[in-house]
Amino acid sequence: MCGLLGLVCASENDAASARSAVGGALHCQRHRGPDETDTWAEGEVVYGFNRLAIIDVEHSHQPLTWGPPENPHRYTINFNGEIYNYLELREELAEQFGAKFATEGDTEAIVAAYHHWGASAVSRLRGMFAFLIWDSERKTVFGARDPFGIKPLYYSSGPGGIAFASEKKSLLDLSETLGVEEELDRTALQHYLVLQYVPEPESLHTGIRRIESGTSFTVSPGGEPDIERYFYPEFRPKPVNGPAQANALYKDIADAMRDSVAKHMRADVTVGSFLSGGIDSTAIAALAKEHNPNLITFTTGFEREGYSEVDVAAESAAAIGVKHIVRTVTADEMMDTLPLIVWYLDDPVADPALIPLWFIAREARKHVKVVLSGEGSDELFGGYTIYREPLSLAPFEKVPGGVRKLLGKVSTKIPEGTRGKDLLRRGALTLEERYYGNARIFRDDQLRRVLRTFTEGVGHQDVTAPWYRLSEGWDPVARMQHVDLFTWLRGDILVKADKVTMANSLELRVPFLDSEVFRAATTIPLEEKITKETTKYALRRALAEIVPSHVLNRRKLGFPVPVRAWLRDEMYEWARGIIADSQTGHLLDKTAVQALLDEHRQGTLDHSRRLWALLVFMLWHGIFIENRIKPEIPEPQYPVKL
């Protein structure tokens, strides 16, 4: 787990003068890899790398050069991530091709796989990754990002060349070298205020985009990347007829999870685990304990009733038999730390769960260098409550289209906050119209109230339509899962997981997002995912012998945050100050934003999620556009050799 930076210049002369600029741009992502920093240049290519040493700690330095016997310096790789099946790949490459390796790590396995199998090698990698491979013979860079988007990869191009980085901040530092003028992307802002995150491949700067999850690319000096998608997920459920087939399904899931956790435990440093009160993290911790009897687990909570799973997590830790550490977070800590967290994020993510995750990651880094976590389970196994919506809205599907539209118009006449209004409104819409992920922050009518730059015709379907087209004919829950894989998961869940843990020089691994676990999940029929009583039914059955009984059928809260209550009390004046000081009046109607805050405080309506999205954006704007807010960025002070 590291931070990479790669610059492909238009000419060798440009590269010679750019090496110092690359070295300087590395510093703002030093938190991603405080163990080692290095730069490398050849021809038109300059690499920079910050390493967090996890596997083959004393070797496997990067940038790493490898090649076949006839040209041992042909390839040089910059690689961020972990390949969990690297031992099997190395053995296969040695047996089949006689490949030789100078280290004991996973980085060489990627380069050798690319040399022998070409671009198709990415489909053999079981792990999380973003990498660049310079081929000195062909004068090209080949790169790729993992199927789910666990590891980030930004890029920016201009007259000076094209640059790739793990952190957007590094590309902002290179904008002069590239000859790129960065401006706020107002379309991306509108998407953010609807979705809670900036969807791929956008960023909030017009000149910076992201290589999408599940894609690879080739780029030559002076050119633009030729990007191809290699990962097309398919949910193709198999019928389950009778107890024997059901038990075979549950065993397949359990076996895949056990194997995934075993491979995710591969490290030459200490591995711990996050632990909330739900089944996902509990299962991972229980399976990890099989490989590390001294496993340490971590959780966080708040001193407010109903917003903490500390007691349940502690009970789970005792049942599993692991050492458990708890970090309690206060409202004052959240307010003080949020600008720093927004700086680490690069682009705003309006998910309040970022805050407790930040504090527990900081605490965990005092004890371990790697943690396992449960991200991805809900998307793969049908865990979100909203996945049950097709069941509740089924009666609307029998209503003629004209009547459904009329019901939608009726819903607009019902006062906000009235019970049943949203059900009626959503029932009048098709799945493609109504579902765009777990977070639904601003509707168009609400957004017009606060966004001065509102553009008609820009909406969530710009983001979701391609993924719906690829899932035509699937059941509605599978289609929702498919959309979430390319929107909510990679836009919110994995961004906050990567950014917040890497900010603390902590590697986070997600065993649910594994190719074999995904294979098992795609075979689950609808009735084994969602029932009237529960979600993730098949997963719960599969893990019945692994997790303690008190969490088996418990609804997951994750790391809930009392933002709704705090914005009415402890955080009101803080929020008022952010609104007053923000220089976003040309983008937002600040009077309308303040009115939302006052309505929320009075208890008239719950605007907490909308307010949080606006406040996070205002802080982001103050940092990256106004240069008015300057968080004090700490140098890594962790015991980095754990």
28 is annotated as an active-site residue: no
Give Cα separations from 50 to 61, 215, 234, 377, 404 (angstroms).
Answer: 10, 23, 36, 30, 56
Active-site pick, 1, 2, 593, 614: 2
d(CA 248, CA 253): 9
Look up residue 617 and give its two tokens.
């954006």
- Residue 512: which of 236, 273, 245 has the closest Cα? 273
- Residue 539: which of 387, 351, 436 has the closest Cα? 387
According to DSSP, the β-strands at 2-9 and 45-51 are: antiparallel
Looking at residue 533, its amino acid is E
Backbone angles phi, psi at 77, to 5 degrees: -115, 140
For tokens 């304990």, what's the residue?
289
d(CA 83, CA 78): 14
**Angle in degrees, 0-180, between the axes of helices 608-624 and 572-581, rounded to the nearest 10:** 40
Cβ pair 498, 508 in contact under 8 A: yes
Name the burial class of residue 253, with classes exposed (0-12), middle (13-18) and buried (19+) by CB atoms within 10 angstroms of its CB. buried
- Residue 558: which of 260, 281, 145 has the closest Cα? 281
String of DSSP letters for 286-326: HHHHTT-TT-EEEEEEESSTTSB-HHHHHHHHHHHT-EEEE
Q: Which residues are catalytic?
A: 2
